[in-house]
Amino acid sequence: MNISNRSFLFAIGVFLLSIGILFCAAPGILLLSMKDTEATLIENNGKSLGDFNWQIEYTMNGKTHTGTYNFPVMSFHSPGDTVTIRCSSIAPNIIQSSSALEFMLPFVVAAFPFVTVGTIFVIVFRKRKPKNTTTAH
């Protein structure tokens, strides 16, 4: 394989590795911006008996927001109850109703093939100096 092909494949590896890292970095930054805040339950929008999808009202960065909050486990609440939620100070409309692991897991799974293939390409196709094939007499 000539040097230009190796360089091209190396560049593809770096590109794939970068995409994989970005898949995890962006939600990671968002996760770091999450803050606890109190939310008031307005009404249950659930379509069935076991659906705990509530319309909520909460304050973040001095502004009142409304959104939906789906309880991760069965819980019994009434309109007007107050619960603690985590939402992003960067994008207050993003509400985290689960653990950090559950939030990051889809991004890590999506990034895994990119990181794996990118790393393999970087290792296999890194630029190497051609071996000296001439021998001294």
Burial class (CB within 10 angstroms; exposed 0-12, middle 13-18, buried 19+) of 136? exposed
Angle between helices 3-32 and 100-124 (to 10 degrees): 170
Portion of the chain with pLDDT greater than 70, in percent: 74
Residue 48 has pLDDT above 70, yes or no: no
What average pLDDT does the segment 111-136 reach? 72
What average pLDDT does the segment 89-96 reach? 77
pLDDT score recorded for residue 57: 92
